[in-house]
């Protein structure tokens, strides 16, 4: 294990997709990541060399002793349920996992004197955009329980700062995608619902075709446009947010996206170029609650955090995800 000189950082959900990339980056940057994960959806092997404690963030008898033991500078919170469609049919899961558990985590932090928090929020807090690109000032009107649960935490965070001095940065991700450039970790959801991994499962032979959810949207090619942002770039933003909180920054929220959108058709075309596979498409009806266009205005993160995405190019994002798809398939064989 690498020698660490910087303080411990608790990574809640560090065995999950984005959390595991964060753990790797913290280790490489000299921090001591302490992973907390109940492995409900995470994978123990994704944690790598980091300290790992299995348990629930919402269980104070687990969290408080852990926070006292490590006295982290900050808690980064990736442990959440994050599927819009599922949140419509199972809202109780979203309110419990994403709000109730998070409040318990914040209370354990207060009890143990841990005063900095970085929160994985989402573009879903905005709901249907009234203007694009979406700035942080855009009205926040979520249209599903997932977005509502994340917005509720953001609201609680403002109150917790005012009353308890717990400072936080909420990072509103647009469409997280890609994988570690070395192919060793990546996205692994069961069941998979996200566009890029599903498209690549067609290319690798795990699926026959990709369903395109809607082809009559008011966009140039009729398919939905999203702002795909590389998981490594999301993690870099967390490191910068950690630095900013360490310098005494006030609580705030930032959008994280590349500021350019790609349609479903463009993603499929890029995946064809990257993989050389024809990737057959089937037309399905639109998914409930999918806005036609979601693109971030992330200029504040660039200006105030100094964030500069390294992997904004959609083909690079897909190429890294493709490397991961092939290596995970080879491991499963
Ligand atoms: N999408 C699609 N087929 C799929 C999965 C997703 O056409 O099998 C579309 C979806 O309607 C959306 C975009 O791809 O416009 C991105 O969806 P994803 O689930 O990856 O992320 P979300 O935008 O829901 O966070």
Q: Where in the chain is the domain with CATH 3.40.50.720?
A: 8-177+229-256
Residue nearest to atom 13 of ligand 1 (CA): 195
Q: How many CB atoms lie within 10 A of CB 281?
A: 17
Residue nearest to atom 10 of ligand 1 (CA): 213
In a mutational test of the pocket of ligand 1, which residue from 86, 213, 317 has the highest number of ligand atoms less than 8 Å from its CB?
213
Question: Which residues are known to be catalytic?
Answer: 146
Query: pLDDT tens per residue, the chain (333 residues)?
Result: 444 568 899 999 999 999 999 999 999 999 999 999 999 999 999 998 899 999 999 999 999 999 999 999 999 999 999 999 899 999 999 999 999 999 999 999 999 999 999 999 999 999 999 999 999 999 999 999 999 999 999 999 999 999 999 999 999 999 999 999 999 999 998 899 999 999 999 999 999 999 999 999 999 999 999 999 999 999 999 999 999 999 999 999 999 999 999 999 999 999 999 999 999 999 999 998 788 999 999 999 999 999 999 999 999 999 999 999 999 888 888
Q: How far is CA 108 from CA 42, 63, 67, in A?
A: 22, 6, 8
**How remote is the CA of residue 211 from the centroid of ligand 1, in Å?**
9
In a mutational test of the pocket of ligand 1, which residue from 86, 172, 187, 195 has the highest number of ligand atoms less than 8 Å from its CB?
195
Tell me which architecture the domain covering 195-226+259-332 has in CATH.
Alpha-Beta Complex (3.90)
**How remote is the CA of residue 263 from the centroid of ligand 1, in Å?**
10
Quick one: three-class SS letters along 137-193? CCCCCCCCHHHHHHHHHHHHHHHHHHHHCCEEEEEEECEEECCCCCCCCCCCCCCCC
Residue nearest to atom 19 of ligand 1 (CA): 194
CA distance 217 to 89: 24
Quick one: how far is CA 177 from the chain centroid? 9
In a mutational test of the pocket of ligand 1, which residue from 18, 122, 226, 281 has the highest number of ligand atoms less than 8 Å from its CB?
226
The answer to whether domain 8-177+229-256 has CATH 3.40.50.720 is: yes
CA angle 75, 51, 107 (to 5 degrees): 30
Q: How far is CA 319 from CA 18, 99, 234, in A?
A: 17, 35, 17
Q: What is the DSSP string of 281-333?
A: EEEEPPPTT--SEE-B--HHIIIII----S---HHHHHHHHHHHHHHHHHHH-
Residue with tokens 């994985």: 120
Residues with CB under 6 A from ligand 1: 84, 175, 193-195, 198, 210-213, 224, 226, 264, 287, 290
Q: Where in the chain is the domain with CATH 3.90.25.10?
A: 195-226+259-332
Which pLDDT belongs to residue 1? 44
Contact between residue 77 and residue 103 where contact means Cβ atoms under 8 Å apart: no
- Could you identify the atom of ligand 1 that is nearest to the CA of residue 212? 7
Which pLDDT belongs to residue 2? 47
Contact between residue 326 and residue 332 where contact means Cβ atoms under 8 Å apart: no
Q: What is the DSSP string of 97-146?
A: IIIIHHHHHHHHHHHHT--EEEEEEEGGGS-S-SSSSBPTTS----SSHH
Which pLDDT belongs to residue 288? 85
Tokens representing residue 231 in the block: 């998981």
CA distance 156 to 301: 22
Q: How far is CA 236 from CA 21, 29, 274, 304, in A?
A: 10, 10, 25, 14
The whole model's pTM is what? Answer: 0.97
**How remote is the CA of residue 7 from the centroid of ligand 1, in Å?**
38
Quick one: how far is CA 262 from the chain centroid? 18
């Amino acid at each position: 294990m690498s020698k660490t000189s910087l303080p411990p950082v608790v990574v809640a959900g560090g065995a999950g997709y984005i959390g595991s990339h964060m753990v790797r980056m913290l280790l490489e940057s000299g921090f001591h990541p302490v992973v907390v994960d109940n492995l409900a959806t995470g994978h123990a092997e994704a944690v790598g060399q980091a300290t790992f404690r299995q348990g629930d963030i919402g269980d104070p008898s687990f969290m408080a002793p852990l926070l006292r033991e490590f006295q982290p500078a900050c808690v980064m919170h990736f442990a959440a349920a994050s599927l819009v469609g599922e949140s419509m049919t199972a809202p109780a899961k979203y309110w419990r996992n994403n709000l109730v558990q998070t409040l318990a985590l914040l209370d354990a932090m207060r009890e143990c004197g841990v005063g900095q928090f970085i929160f994985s929020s989402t573009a879903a807090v905005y709901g249907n955009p009234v203007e694009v690109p979406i700035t942080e000032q855009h009205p926040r009107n979520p249209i599903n329980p997932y977005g509502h649960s994340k917005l509720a935490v953001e609201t609680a965070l403002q109150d917790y700062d005012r009353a308890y001095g717990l400072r936080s940065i909420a990072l509103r991700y647009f469409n997280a995608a890609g994988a570690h450039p070395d192919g060793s970790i990546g996205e692994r959801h069961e069941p998979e619902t996200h566009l890029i991994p599903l498209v690549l499962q067609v290319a690798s032979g795990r699926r026959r075709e990709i369903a395109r959810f809607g082809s009559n949207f008011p966009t140039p090619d009729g398919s939905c446009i999203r702002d795909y942002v590389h998981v490594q770039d999301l993690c870099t933003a967390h490191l910068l947010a950690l630095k900013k909180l360490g310098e005494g920054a006030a609580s705030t929220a930032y959008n994280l996206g590349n500021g350019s959108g790609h349609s479903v058709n463009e993603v499929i075309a890029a995946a064809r170029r990257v993989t050389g596979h024809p990737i057959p498409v089937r037309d399905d009806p639109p998914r409930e609650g999918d806005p036609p266009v979601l693109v971030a205005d992330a200029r504040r993160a660039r200006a105030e955090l100094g964030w500069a995405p390294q992997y904004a190019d959609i083909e690079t994002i897909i190429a890294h995800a493709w490397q991961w798809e092939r290596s995970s398939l080879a491991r499963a064989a």
